[in-house]
Structures are given as C-alpha cells and as structure tokens.
Amino acid sequence: MKPLAIQARACLRGLLLLTCVLQLGACASLTQPGPADRQAIAGKTFVVTGASSGIGRAVAHELAASGANIVLAARRAEVLDEVAGEVRRVGGTPLVVVTDVSRAQEMERLAQAAIGHFGRIDVWINNAGVGALGRFEDVPARDHARVIDVNVNGVIYGSHAALRQFIAQGRGTLVNISSVQGQIPTPYQSSYAASKAAVLGLGRALNQELRLARRDRIRVVTVLPWAVDTPFFEHAANYTGRAARSIAYDDPTMVARAIVWVSLHPRDEFPVGWKAGGAYAGHNLLPALTERVAADVEHATQIESGPPAPPTSGNLHQPVRGGATVEGGLRSHSAR
C-alpha cells in the first residue's frame, strides 16, 4: 500500500475513534492553578527531576511564580544553573542538585540535599525521561536497557526516597510522569512504551499499599500526557532513518500547569488535556481498535514520512548540548 493511502486510512480511523471518545475524554480538563493554589504553593518544597528542559523546566517556572522552594535535578549542571537564575528572578527559591536518576545513590543524595536545605519535601515530581525510536531489532540492546534504567529505575529510586520521607513526616504527594503510551503502546517506541506502562503499574500498586496502610495523607499521582512540544524528540535515540516526529503536539506550559494543579488536587491517574483523555477513555472502551489506530498513525507519521536522518543514540548515555529550552519548536515546524 502506498504511503499516502496508509496516512489516509490512519487519519480516517483516528477521526472515527475521536468522534466516539471525545465526550468520554472531556473529563480530562485543561486545569491550571488558581489564586488559592498559588497561595498554597508558596513556601512548599518541590523536587523536580528532568528540570533542565521541556516539561520539567516549565514546571519549575510555574512553581517559582508562586514562591515555591524548588530542588532542580538533571545531569547538565550549567543548564540547571540557568534554570535556577530564572527561578530566582520570578520569586522562587532554587536548589541545584546534579543528578543521574538511574543511579540509586544519586537519588538518595538528592532527597537528603532537599531535606538538609529546606527541612522537608512536600511534592516529589519524577519527570526525567528518555526515549529510543526504531524497530525493536534495530535499536541496540544497550539503548533499550538505558531507557529502562532512566524511565523505570529512576522513577523507582525517586519514589522510594520520596515515600520514605513522606512516611517520616506524615504526608506528601508523589507525582510520576508516565505517558498515554503507558496505556496505549505504539510501534517503534517499544522500550519507551514498556517503561511508561511500568510507571503506570507502579502508581497503581503504591496507591493500594497506601490504602491498606491507611496512609491517606500520602498520595501517588500518575500523569499521562499526550505528545508534548519539548526537546524530547531532539534528545531521543533514533534508528528509524527519519527525523523524530509525532502529531498534534500539546503546549508544554499547559502540561506543566496541569502537573502543578494535580500535585495540589491529587487523583490516582490524570490524563492531561482532551487528546490524552480521549485516548485513555477510548482504550478503556475499545482497546484493540485504539491500539490499531495508534499504530497506523505512528507508522504513517514516523516511518512513511519525514526527512531522512542518520542514526543517533541521542542523550541516552551522555547529556547533549542542545535542547535546553521548554519548547522544542515542533508545533511551528508542523505548521510550516
């Protein structure tokens, strides 16, 4: 079948599915903190991993505007210093802790630094994440393993450190960033989809443990965004032969505001926006159809179109210089 026909079929199926689930997804509103929320944030301590770019950097900006204490964690020290300066300028109090989330001892050091500097941790946001694009057999095994190290082990280490502190102080909120792909896996991102499904399963298990222990002042939230216009695609390992891309990107600032909001109004699982909410609800209603539609769209978008690109391991094994902004410029590129 020709690429154009594949794209047309994928778009048609997507539209049909969207029509079915749009009302179901309406419950995932575009939430953002209000004046009372801003007052509640002031003086509280938030740990944010992956704070050097994308969603993490946007979350830091949102929190800083309300006067929060923000512990900024990522691998790029010089970029974290830039973010710290931005946080100070708008009224927040930053603490920079250079951290590789895949190393348990560094995550424990992150927790101890936050407690030592601010005395407590109110919210811990496990946001750091990496990706690898390509047919499963074309992506090197060490790259698949690194995705799991960062996206799964990093969340486990962060959750372990956070929950131990929350139990000691009697309360706290853990926010783990999964993805719609945690619910609806797509081809050519196999280890990423597996990692996000693991984050979703972890949150469900932890919430049951907390319920059984009657620790109702400690909450675990799993956030499921849609594809977001951040440097993630610039940073991702890519073995597809084409430039990394997705469709209908969401605004990272909108996603960051939703993350801040749900940290104050926790619920177990939180799809961000109508696209994520519609996909999440659609998968609950028609799982096989939803996965086929998602797979067709991913194939048409990533494999059948887009400019050629050389293979790269991206930022998996070493930080990269580029892509230190909140936005990735993907929406403007798509519009052009």
Tell me if 164 sits within 8 A of 121, measured CB to CB: no
Residue 176's DSSP bridge partners are 126, 222
- Where would I find the beta strands (DSSP E) of 51-189? 69-74, 93-98, 123-126, 132-133, 172-177
pTM assigned to the model: 0.92
Q: Catalytic site residues?
A: 192
DSSP letter (8 states) at residue 250: B
DSSP per position, 269-317:
EEE-HHHHHHHHHHHHH-HHHHHHHHHHHHIIIIISSS-B---B-TTSS
Number of CB atoms found within 10 A of residue 209's CB: 12
Q: What digits encode the pLDDT tens for the residues 134-153?
A: 999 999 999 999 999 999 99
- Alpha carbon distance 85, 81 (integer Å): 6
Q: Could you tell me which of 109, 106, 121 has the C-alpha nearest to residue 168?
A: 121
Tell me if 258 sits within 8 A of 272, measured CB to CB: yes
Half-sphere exposure (CA, 13 Å, Cβ side) for 32?
A: 12
Mean pLDDT to the nearest integer, 13-24: 44
Into how many domains does the chain fold? 1
Q: What digits encode the pLDDT tens for the residues 108-138?
A: 999 999 999 999 999 999 999 999 999 999 9
Q: What digits encode the pLDDT tens for the residues 78-115?
A: 999 999 999 999 999 999 999 999 999 999 999 999 99
Structure-block tokens of residue 5: 């026909």
Q: Could you tell me which of 250, 262, 269 has the C-alpha nearest to residue 326?
A: 250
Q: What digits encode the pLDDT tens for the residues 181-217?
A: 999 999 999 999 999 999 999 999 999 999 999 999 9
CATH assignment of the domain containing 268: 3.40.50.720
Number of CB atoms found within 10 A of residue 64's CB: 24
Structure-block tokens of residue 56: 């993490």
- Note down the domain range covering 236: 3-335
- Alpha carbon distance 65, 210 (integer Å): 32
